[in-house]
Amino acid sequence: MYKLINTFGIDAKCAKLLEFTSVDELKAHYAEIAEARRNGKLLIIGRGSNLLPVGDYDGLVVRSRIMGRTVVAHDMVCIGSGETVDDIIAWTLSQNLYGMENLSIIPGEVGASAVQNIGAYGVEAKDFIVSLHALDLDNGDIVEITNEQCEYGYRQSRFKHDWKNRFVITDVTYRLSDTFIPRLDYGNIRKVLEEKDISCEDGKLTAQILRDTIIDIRNAKLPDYEVEGNAGSFFMNPIVDKGKFDELIAKYPNMPYYPAGEKVKLPAGWLIDQCGWKGKTLGRAGVHDKQALVLVNKGGATGEEVVALCHQVQKDVLERFGVEIHPEVNIV
């Protein structure tokens, strides 16, 4: 048995673990991976930062360790799927390429960014992904997949649905910009910049300052998973239709919200907080005391305890607001 890595700090094992460092190494194990897939015993992971094990996994866990960073055009970079997203953001700034600053210190890996469509502060991975390469477990070929083929949505892609366990990603190509255009209108970014006496209009704001500010904001409200196990934001922000929104805003005029096309996105953390869960525990699992969107392992929690807390929080939000919230975390 091998350790099933996860940032929740759950003590879980897997029957088999395959880590590959090159495309050739991955292809050499194609038959083994394809067989595990046919038997329903295949789990493809990144850093385990979006994973909640509820027990040991009796199957094959596959993880990319492919590294590498290449500027393939003046505004495009090709990155190995095993690289950490935050490391890549720091590197792109050193290359005078901009755009991903708002995604700083998300702990996931590049391959997972393309599966999950990671996002933060009004920016999503899909805004930059041009294409990716992957091993197609249907036939053993290395194929190129475009952004459009992935059918990205809010924390969604085909890799989580009809393509689940079909592809093992080997690299991702992102298109960035050689001009810094800050995205500041989500959350409290502008407020924190003002507190630092940094104006957004006089040219003082740089990409590095924005990155540092995002890091400060996230560190102030998100726990360090090495101290208190967690997977970051546990729930996705629910998106409701206009009728439901009008009903809620009439009852809760101070409710924050964000336009989402013809619908409206509500902050799940606010809904959970209003139900009184912030800082509360259920067994050895709890809701973080600074950000109600985050469920934490208070010490020795099992996956089942975290799931029980998840279900209770969902129940309370539904009963109070008539809104369903769903986990962003992959529960296995």
Can you tell me which residue has the tokens 């959350």? 187
Q: How far apart are CA 166 and CA 149, in angstroms?
A: 14
Helix residue ranges per DSSP H, 76-188: 85-94, 110-116, 147-150
Closest residue by Cα to residue 133 from 143, 125, 122, 123: 143
Structure tokens given for 92: 């792109």
Residue of 47, 155, 211, 305 marked active site: 155
State the sign of the Cα–Cα–Cα–Cα dihedral 205, 210, 216, 220: positive
Active site residue 155: yes
Report DSSP state, residue 39.
T
Is 47 tagged catalytic?
no
Kindly write down the DSSP assignment for every residue of 279-312, as one continuous string: T-EETTEEE-SS-TT-EEE-SS--HHHHHHHHHH
Residue 217's closest CA among 58, 63, 103? 103
- Nearest one of 277, 226, 281, 275 to 252, comparing CA atoms: 275
Measured distance CA(175)–CA(22) in Å, rounded: 23
Write down the catalytic residue from 64, 81, 131, 233: 233
Count other Cβ atoms within 10 Å, centred on residue 224. 10
312 residue type, one letter:
Q
Q: Note if 83 is an active site residue.
A: no
Q: Where are the alpha helices (DSSP H) in 107-264?
A: 110-116, 147-150, 189-195, 207-221, 242-251
The phi, psi pair for 316, rounded to 5°, reads -70, -40
Q: Which tokens is 223 given? A: 């726990």
Over its C-alpha atoms, the chain yields an Rg (Å, rounded) of 20
Residues with catalytic function? 155, 233, 328
